[in-house]
């Protein structure tokens, strides 16, 4: 009985250690012309398309999401400048992160 309990506890510890929330996604977003647009809203979705986080790019178009679990994520971006909406389109980019990996992403926005 002690061996079974030890095995169960070890397995639970192993599973919890694998979910260390250490992965990151960093990147930049710009217009299709290469123009930097600050204040772009970047959204990160779960594999089931649930919105997890959103952030705004800095003055150089950079953004980051940190403390992520291993898995697949969808990412998309949008901004309205005057009467023009810029976005990454209807198909968000799919990103896989694992472990303590920092994944770099470049997003290109097109005027609609």
Q: How far apart are CA 92 and CA 89, in angstroms?
A: 7
**Which domains, from first to last, does the chain contain?**
21-111 (2.60.40.10)
Q: What is the pLDDT of residues 1-29, one digit of tens each?
A: 444 433 344 333 333 444 567 889 999 99
pLDDT mean for each 10 residues of the chain (112 residues): 39 42 87 87 92 94 92 91 87 79 85 85
Backbone phi and psi for residue 101, each to the nearest 5 degrees, phi listed first: -80, 140
pTM check: above 0.85 = no
Question: What would the two tokens of residue 41 be?
Answer: 């809203």
What is the share, in percent, of the chain residues with pLDDT greater than 70?
80
Which pLDDT score, from 0 to 100, does residue 20 have?
A: 60
């Amino acid at each position: 009985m002690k061996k079974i309990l030890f095995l169960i506890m070890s397995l639970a510890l192993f599973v919890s250690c694998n979910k260390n929330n250490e992965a990151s996604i960093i990147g930049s977003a710009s217009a299709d012309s290469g123009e930097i647009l600050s204040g772009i809203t970047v959204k990160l979705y779960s594999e089931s398309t649930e919105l997890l986080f959103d952030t705004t790019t800095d003055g150089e178009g950079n953004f980051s999401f940190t403390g992520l679990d291993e898995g697949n994520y969808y990412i998309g971006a949008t901004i309205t400048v005057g009467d023009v909406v810029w976005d990454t389109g209807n198909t968000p980019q799919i990103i896989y992160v694992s472990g303590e990996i920092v994944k770099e992403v470049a997003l290109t926005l097109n005027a609609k």
